[in-house]
Amino acid sequence: MTPLPKEVYMLRAVKVSLYCNVVLFVIKLTAVILVNSLALLTDLGITFVGLIVSGILYYSVRMANRPSDFLHNYGYGKVEHVCEAIEGIILIGIALGMSFQAVLHLAHPRHIAMPWVGLLCSVINLTINFVGAAYIFRMARQSASPAIHAEGVHYHLEGIISSTIAGSFALSVLLSIFGWNRVEPFIDPLATLVVSAIVIVPSFKLAKKAFYHLLDASMEEGKTMQVIKPLGRHKEKYCEFRDIRSRSAGSKNFVDLKLILPEKMNLKEGHRIAGAIEYDIKANVPNSEVMITIHPCDGDCIYSKENNACPYL
């Protein structure tokens, strides 16, 4: 079966994310109005961010897959990392703001209304989140898109948050049944603090990773090794290689290196060798652009010094 263009997988993931976020937002907004829970309000804020990011991501996916042009010689792939950074920063802000509110609520505790409604809504939410996350992660693997992977992380994170909130509502119901009404008001702000802690760590890592790639980070070590392997397979055809450089922009990878060839080798043969190596690197590192420049040997090798024949001719 022929794989589809990566843009198709990316758009599928974004559409599922957008539709699910709309449903989640409606459910959580209804629950917040009925239950008056700070933990649910935090969850609603996270979903609202997800809804906005899904809209931005839909536009960004189309932009990221544009071909390079005069103004952007390396394409538009980095817009995916911009989406990652925006999502991470906003989520950190929500977590910090809700933590402050949770501390105030601990100082002035209050009972929540209809915890059964909150429990039911949270169970529905976590089901949507975990199913959506599984699908989005699958599309991320097919497209090799960091922005889609980040969206999958967001959905999985929301699933964990909804599970935590569902647990807090279940505990509130049990405490009310057993008559521990003085303890019950503290459950909601404590759950909010737990949710905020769950959000901050992965959101910080997400933003850090995005900024790292925006600063022209090299490819991951595993991909770099996939560049070196073809060079090893063709080692008997060239003198040496130098100055390997790589960078990633969204799902795209860029590699350039210098290939040192015998001074007396004709240009046609040199281009043939460089073309074969370039083909193998592209096969090893999907969605990559490879630039190999060929340079003549400067004669500063043991074969030249001893007046021996060049073994690469």
Q: What is the pLDDT of residues 151-171, one digit of tens each?
A: 888 788 888 888 888 888 888
- 286/90 Cα distance (integer angstroms): 32
Assigned domain for 313 exists: no
pLDDT tens digit sequence for 174-197 = 887 777 777 777 777 788 788 788
Residue where a domain terminates, one of 214, 235, 258: 214
CATH of the domain at 107: 1.20.1510.10
Q: Which helix (H) or strand (E) holds 310?
A: none
Task: Kindly report, residue by residue over 52-109, the tens digit of the pLDDT.
Answer: 877 777 776 666 556 555 555 555 566 667 777 777 787 787 777 777 777 776 777 7
For the chain, what is the domain count? 2
CATH of the domain at 233: 3.30.70.1350
Same domain, 164 and 225: no
Which amino acid type is present at position 122?
Answer: S
The whole domain housing 129 covers 6-214
Q: What's the pLDDT tens digit per position in 17-55?
A: 889 989 999 998 998 888 878 778 878 887 887 788 777
Last-in-domain residue among 214, 246, 270: 214
Q: Strand 240-249 vs strand 252-261: parallel, antiparallel, or unpaired?
A: antiparallel
Looking at the structure, tell me whether residues 58 and 149 fall in a common domain. Answer: yes
Of the candidates 214, 245, 266, which is a domain's last residue? 214
Share of the chain above pLDDT 70, in %: 81
The pLDDT of residue 124 is 93
